Amino acid sequence: MVRVAIGSDHAGLGLKDTIKALLDRLGVPWEDLGTDSSASVDYPDFAQAVARAVLGGRADRGILVCGTGIGMAIAANKFPGIRAAVVCNEASARLSRAHNDANIMAVGGHTTPAAEVEGMLRAFLSTEYEGGRHDARLAKIARLERKDP
């Protein structure tokens, strides 16, 4: 069973609550790493918390929600070993896993329709990494993380 760490800023709080309810319905264990308020907060703090949970093994995958998902993905991708993908539909969720072995899905509270998030979530949680031709590409990314490109 996949374990999920989830975090949001104030702009993503509503969609995060929707995602948590979906995870409950799907029987997926999750840990909410904040925020729990609509008061303005800084998204990098929550991206860091989720990235560390994934890297530390407390979670297998992460979900981040801010206004667009972009800021969260940028912040999370600063951590070597994190591959956060901004996901905008079910196909991008599936491909982020199959081709990029993404371990964090970032979505936008202002840009992601709640009606579409279940398909995105199911695809992100159930799709396995394909490996094969993608392995060499991920190895290049790992080398970029270890040295100045």
Structural tokens at position 144:
């970029």
Residue closest to 63 by CA, chosen among 8, 25, 9:
8
Helix (H) or strand (E) holding 5: strand 4-8
Looking at the structure of the chain, the number of domains it has is: 1
Question: Among the listed ranges 94-98, 118-122, 143-147, which one has the minimum average pLDDT value?
Answer: 143-147
CATH number of the domain at 64, please: 3.40.1400.10
Please pick, among 66, 88, 110, 134, the residue that the annotation labels catalytic: 66
Q: What is the pLDDT of residue 23?
A: 98
Domain limits for position 106 = 4-146
Residue 145's pLDDT band (boundaries 50, 70, 90)?
confident
DSSP single-letter state for residue 147: S
Strand partners, 103: none
Residue 148's pLDDT band (boundaries 50, 70, 90)?
low
Q: Which residues, at least 6 apart from 16, have a Cβ–Cβ distance to it below 8 Å? A: 6, 7, 8, 32, 63, 65, 109
Per-residue model confidence as pLDDT tens digits over 99-119: 999 999 999 999 999 999 999
66 belongs to the catalytic site? yes
Per-residue model confidence as pLDDT tens digits over 15-68: 999 999 999 999 999 999 999 999 999 999 999 999 999 999 999 999 999 999
Please pick, among 10, 88, 99, 134, the residue that the annotation labels catalytic: 99
110 belongs to the catalytic site? no
Let me know if 6 is exposed, middle or buried by CB neighbors in 10 A (0-12, 13-18, 19+). buried
The string of DSSP codes covering 83-144 is -EEE--SHHHHHHHHHTT--SEEEEETTTS-HHHHHHHHHHHHHPPP--THHHHHHHHHHHH
Q: What is the pLDDT of residue 149?
A: 54
**pTM score of the predicted model:** 0.96
